[in-house]
Amino acid sequence: MCLAVPGRIIAIEGKTATVDFGGVKRKVRLDLLPNVDVGDYVVVHTGFAIESLDEKRALEILEAWAGVGKFLEGR
Amino acid sequence: MEKLKAFRDRGIAQKLVEKIKGEARTLDGEIRIMHVCGTHEDTITRSGIRSLLPENVKVVSGPGCPVCITPVEDIVAMQLIMRKAREEGEGIILTTFGDMYKIPTPMGSFADLKSEGFDVRVVYSIFDTYRMAKENPEETVVHFSPGFETTAAPTAGMINAVVNEGLENFKIYSVHRLTPQGIEVLIKQKSKIDALIDAGHVSTIIGVKGWEFLSERYGIPQVVAGFEPNDVLMAILLLIRMYKEGDARVVNEYRRAVRYEGNVTAQRLIDKYFKVVDAKWRALGVFPGTGLELRDEWRELDIKNIYKVEVPKDLPDLEKGCLCGAVLRGLAMPTDCPHFGKTCTPRHPIGPCMVSYEGTCQILYKYGVLF
Ligand code: SF4
């Protein structure tokens, strides 16, 4: 199943990262997401990081959802 | 993450439901919205979304359970390969995911094979299989590999590492399938699908771009959605509006994890190692251009090319009375099945839809809507 909660990279060794999912640490492969750094949040599927959540995109989300309120009032 | 709270906020959920009701009032007839993801089904059932929706807004689950649609023939072929290897005095360590392990066939499951003394191991990731191959250089280690693009990408990534490192005892049996191409077959078969909620993490791999042809060719509006209740409600609201306005596009509601172009590294790796083939979907038939097989250059990585076995013909897909086929097409709910919750439970499953965590029958059973 899809882990919807992203984890944070706390260490990188070669093609493997240690990712912290709110206290639970797992080894995660970086083959599909080579350009990440310690501190980045990543979405993980079956032991592989498949996407990162960068700050700009995180803000985009917040803006989109702040807009939701307005969107719900209107029309 | 703190930021994700809005996606579960009850106040927002209520407003979304009100809006949906308002839009539905001016809808001409009904709208059938299909999703194709076990995790979406989980969200929808867990948060009781269906019971909140107006009569004329139907959310049905499509074939979003890769383990459920994995053909009986392939599970049996893998079992026969294990037997053949043993006859030839070779050991194979077989790995697969937990729900695949228990999927029944007329010739038993991988769990049954294990109880006969074969070395079958449940893994969380194909990375575990790779580690086993390194730790057991004398043995062949095979991953029986189901899943849509989200899982095909890790498989391709692992194979890439295996090829680069020259690890020779690592093999796979691919039963990977392509999601939008599978839905296209359903559309061509005249399944009534007015709108689509696109699977979140399949979209992470293929991007918004990977779904667009369905809107272009068939005029179907789509929303790529995340997995929180409000993601799904928002998708439903947007889809009703788009449907009413004849606005056939793909809207990305799950921008926090999905880019327009998707994960290009993953797409390149899938394309490097796999070719697209016609493939059977259990209980649904052969869907042209929906399966992934290793390309000929990598044939020595494919366990099927090392042990040739003959699978008995005419194996039935399902036990008598199991409605899994109709459930996977979104034409039946588990409650339409006389076995549901009585003779068929997760402990004693009759069909694949009750075995998998992503199966519609198991999800409904788990949240006990009936009981
Ligand atoms: S409840 Fe069991 S028998 Fe009925 S459709 Fe689901 S899996 Fe098949």
Nearest atom within ligand 1 for CA of residue B360: 6
Given this model, what pLDDT does residue B371 score? 44
Query: What is the token pair recorded at B236?
Result: 């439903």
Q: Give the Cα separation of B49 and B16 in Å (integer).
A: 11
Question: Nearest C-alpha to atom 7 of ligand 1 is from which residue?
Answer: B351
Mean pLDDT of B281-303: 97
Inform me whether the C-beta atom of residue B78 falls under 8 Å from chain A C-beta atoms: no
Looking at chain B, the whole-number percentage of residues with pLDDT higher than 70 is 98
**pLDDT higher than 80, residue A44:** yes
The lowest-confidence range among B38-47, B51-60, B156-165, B241-250 is: B38-47
Q: What is the DSSP letter of A19?
A: E
For residue A65, list chain B residues with Cβ-Cβ distance below 8 A.
6-7
Three-state DSSP class for residue B147: strand
Task: Work out the pLDDT band at B276, boundaries 50, 70, 90.
Answer: very high
Inform me whether the C-beta atom of residue A27 falls under 8 Å from chain B C-beta atoms: yes
Tens digits of residue pLDDT in B3-38: 566 777 888 899 999 999 999 999 989 999 999 998
Q: What residue type is B73 in one-letter code?
A: E
Exposure string over A21-53, b if 16+ CB within 10 A, otherwise e? eeeeeeebbbbbbeebeeebbbbbbbbbbbbbb
Q: Give the best residue of B41, B47, B122, B256 to mutate against chain A (max A CB count within 10 A).
A: B256
Q: Taking CB atoms and an 8 Å limit, are A43 and B204 in contact across chains?
A: yes
Task: Work out the pLDDT band at A71, boundaries 50, 70, 90.
Answer: low
Phi first, then psi: give them for residue B223, nearest 5 degrees. Answer: -130, 125
Cβ proximity of B67 and B122 under 8 Å: no
Query: What is the token pair recorded at B10?
Result: 């009850």
The domain of A26 spans 5-73
How far apart are the CA of B340 and the centre of ligand 1, in A? Answer: 6
Q: Give the Cα separation of B30 and B19 in Å (integer).
A: 16
Q: Taking CB atoms and an 8 Å limit, are A32 and B269 in contact across chains?
A: yes
Tens digits of residue pLDDT in B80-124: 999 999 999 998 999 999 999 999 999 999 999 999 999 999 999
Its ipTM equals: 0.88
**pLDDT higher than 50, residue A75:** no
Q: Give the Cα separation of B99 and B88 in Å (integer).
A: 29
Task: Work out the pLDDT band at A58, boundaries 50, 70, 90.
Answer: low
Tens digits of residue pLDDT in B211-232: 999 999 999 999 999 888 999 9
**pLDDT higher than 70, residue A53:** yes
Q: How many domains does chain A have?
A: 1
Query: What is the token pair recorded at B252?
Result: 């990305």
Q: Give the Cα separation of A21 and B7 in Å (integer).
A: 19
What residue ranges in chain B does DSSP mark as E strands? 31-35, 57-61, 92-96, 120-122, 140-147, 170-177, 195-198, 222-224, 250-252, 274-281, 285-294
Q: Residue A37: which CATH number?
A: 2.30.30.140
The lowest-confidence range among A27-36, A50-59, B204-213, B284-293 is: A50-59
Tens digits of residue pLDDT in A9-32: 999 999 999 999 888 899 999 999
Nearest atom within ligand 1 for CA of residue B341: 1
Pocket probe for ligand 1: among B65, B282, B322, the residue whose CB has the most ligand atoms within 8 Å is: B322
Q: Taking CB atoms and an 8 Å limit, are B154 and A32 in contact across chains?
A: yes
Q: Give the Cα separation of B262 and B198 in Å (integer).
A: 13
Given this model, what pLDDT does residue B131 score? 97
The full length of chain B comes to: 371
Q: How many A×B Cβ pairs under 8 Å?
A: 110
The C-alpha of A51 sits at a distance from chain B's nearest C-alpha, in angstroms, of 6
Given this model, what pLDDT does residue B370 score? 47
Nearest CA in chain A to B231: A65
Q: Give the Cα separation of B64 and B37 in Å (integer).
A: 4
List ligand 1's pocket residues with C-beta within 6 A.
Answer: B 322-324, 327, 334, 337, 339-340, 344, 350-351, 353-354, 361
How far apart are the CA of B355 and the centre of ligand 1, in A? Answer: 9
Which residues of chain B from 217 to 276 reach within 8 Å of chain A, CB to CB?
226-228, 234, 255-259, 263, 265-266, 269
Identify the residue with better confidence: A58 or A39. Answer: A39
Given this model, what pLDDT does residue B10 score? 84
pTM of the shown model: 0.92
Inform me whether the C-beta atom of residue A38 falls under 8 Å from chain B C-beta atoms: no
